[in-house]
């Protein structure tokens, strides 16, 4: 009589009793969370609250901040505060969508590559090829990839999202792949296979939950990078077309004015960018480094 061992339970949600207790969030984390919440709120309702139409010429050009124009006006007479507020939605939406797309694609690719790259035959060759391609993509400066993608497909919000997702996907894919390589040799997977579980079901039910955590923890890093990259492409003149209020292009447009003392048209979007990325960075540090140390 043959007996079959029941599959070993996968350690999906079981807390490790030996793992150190996670620390409580500190004040800095709460401030960062509050700022990010405000940024998200501004992205949602900001364009409805702007004192002026952010794409319209509403005053004399290059006016310093005043009661009438809180952030002054830029060299064409557009209201800097309204544009900075409206720019939140554009930058955050592009960054959030790109982060989501990069993470979903990255996890899928990482799973596929990690599970197959040691196989023989065409599937294994393909997986190893994709793995090297991910290495290659990570070796090329991200702004260069962004410039190439945008030059091919033009500048629009969907193009920017795709460009950023292409740039950032390898990071998530490589994180996931590393975890998959660690997990795939676990005994419970062999047991599940011997129990006749379909490979796809096995990946979804057991491998995915146990290898996705690093990529998910990395989301806030990716979000910060996305915001900076969106602004960078805008700064380099390949972002969204003017007069779209986007922080990077606003900084680029105002940089020349700042050099001759008219600081405000670049300072407001630059401050918004810095605060958002700093908050994202603080939160990331807290969630990843502090809580796992």
Partner 1 sequence: MSAPPRLGRRLARTVVSVVALSLLAAGCADSGGSGSGGAAKDTVVVVTGDQASNVVRDYGFTNGTDNQEVTNSIHAQLIRKPYIAEQGANVQVQDLYHFEPFLAQSYDVSQDGKVFTFHLRQGLKSQQGNELTSADVVWSFERKFSSKGGGMPGYYAPMLTDVDKQVVAVDKYTVTFTIDQPGYGFTLLGNLAENIGSIYDSTYLTQHASADDPYAINWGVSSMLNGNSGFGPYMLQSITPNQEIVMVANPNYVFGPLPIKTMIRRVVPDAATRANMLVQGDADVALDLRPTDQADLASNPDIFTPTATSNLYQSITLNTRRAPFDNVLVRRALAYAVPYDRIIDDVYKGRAYAYQHLLDDKQPYYDGSKLPKYTYDPAKAKDLLAQAGITTPVAFTMTVSNASPSVQDSVVVLAAAAKDAGFDITINQVPAAQLFSDGLAGRLQASMSTGSAVTMSPPYELNLLTQVGGGSNTSFWSGPDYDAFAAVMKQGLASTDAIGPEAGPLWSQAETMLVNSGANIFLARVMSPYSMRADVHGYAQRTDRRIDYSAVSIGGEANS
| Binding interface with partner 1 (CB under 8 A) | 55-57, 60-62, 75-78, 237, 241-243, 255-260
Q: Are 273 and 190 in contact (CB under 8 A)?
A: no
Least distance between partner 1 and beta carbon 50 (Å): 15
Torsion of CA 41, 47, 50, 55, to 10 degrees: 150
* Bridge partners of residue 73, in order along the sequence: 79
Q: Are 97 and 43 in contact (CB under 8 A)?
A: no
Least distance between partner 1 and beta carbon 118 (Å): 47
Question: Which residue do the tokens 């207790």 mark?
Answer: 21
Radius of gyration in angstroms for the set of CA atoms belonging to the chain, rounded to a whole number: 23
The DSSP secondary structure of 151-185, one letter per residue, reads HHH-SSHHHHHHHHHHHHHHHHHHHHHHHHHHHTT
- The residue among 66 and 75 lying less far from partner 1, judged by its C-beta, is 75
- The residue among 18 and 260 lying less far from partner 1, judged by its C-beta, is 260
Least distance between partner 1 and beta carbon 267 (Å): 15
- The residue among 10 and 252 lying less far from partner 1, judged by its C-beta, is 252
Least distance between partner 1 and beta carbon 172 (Å): 32
- The residue among 47 and 243 lying less far from partner 1, judged by its C-beta, is 243
Least distance between partner 1 and beta carbon 121 (Å): 46
Judged by DSSP in three states, 73 sits in strand
Sign of CA dihedral 129, 130, 132, 133: positive
Least distance between partner 1 and beta carbon 252 (Å): 10
Question: Which residue do the tokens 């090829």 mark?
Answer: 129
**Closest among 13, 160, 176 to 108, alpha carbons compared:** 176
Distance CA 287, CA 202 (A): 29
- The residue among 124 and 241 lying less far from partner 1, judged by its C-beta, is 241
| CB half-sphere exposure, 164, CA atoms < 13 A | 33
Least distance between partner 1 and beta carbon 255 (Å): 8
- The residue among 1 and 260 lying less far from partner 1, judged by its C-beta, is 260
Distance CA 235, CA 37 (A): 25
- The residue among 38 and 258 lying less far from partner 1, judged by its C-beta, is 258
- Tokens read off for 193: 């296979």
Q: Are 116 and 123 in contact (CB under 8 A)?
A: yes
Least distance between partner 1 and beta carbon 151 (Å): 10
- The residue among 206 and 262 lying less far from partner 1, judged by its C-beta, is 262
């Amino acid at each position: 009589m043959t007996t079959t061992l029941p599959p070993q339970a996968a350690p999906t949600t079981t807390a490790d009793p030996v793992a150190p207790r996670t620390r409580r969030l500190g004040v800095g984390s709460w401030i960062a969370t509050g700022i990010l919440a405000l940024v998200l709120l501004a992205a949602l309702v900001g364009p409805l609250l702007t004192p002026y139409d952010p794409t319209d010429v509403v005053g004399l050009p290059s006016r310093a901040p005043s009661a009438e124009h809180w952030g002054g006006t830029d060299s064409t007479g557009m209201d800097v505060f309204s544009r900075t507020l409206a720019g939140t939605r554009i930058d955050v939406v592009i960054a959030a969508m790109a982060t989501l797309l990069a993470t979903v694609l990255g996890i899928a690719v990482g799973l596929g590559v990690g599970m197959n790259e040691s196989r023989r035959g065409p599937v294994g060759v393909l997986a190893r090829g994709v793995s090297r391609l991910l290495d290659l993509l990570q070796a090329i400066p991200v702004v260069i990839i962004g410039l190439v993608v945008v030059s091919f497909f033009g500048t629009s919000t969907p193009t920017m999202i795709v460009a950023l997702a292409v740039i950032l996907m390898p990071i998530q894919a490589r994180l996931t792949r590393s975890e998959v390589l660690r997990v795939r040799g676990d005994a419970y997977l062999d047991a599940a296979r011997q129990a006749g579980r379909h490979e796809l079901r096995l990946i979804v039910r057991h491998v995915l939950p146990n290898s996705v955590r690093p990529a998910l923890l990395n989301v806030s890093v990716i979000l910060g990078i996305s915001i900076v990259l969106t602004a960078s492409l805008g700064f380099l003149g390949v972002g969204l077309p003017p007069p779209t209020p986007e922080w990077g292009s606003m900084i680029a447009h105002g940089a020349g004015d700042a050099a001759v003392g008219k600081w405000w048209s670049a300072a407001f979007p630059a401050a918004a960018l810095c605060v958002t990325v700093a908050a994202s960075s603080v939160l990331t540090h807290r969630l990843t480094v502090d809580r796992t140390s």
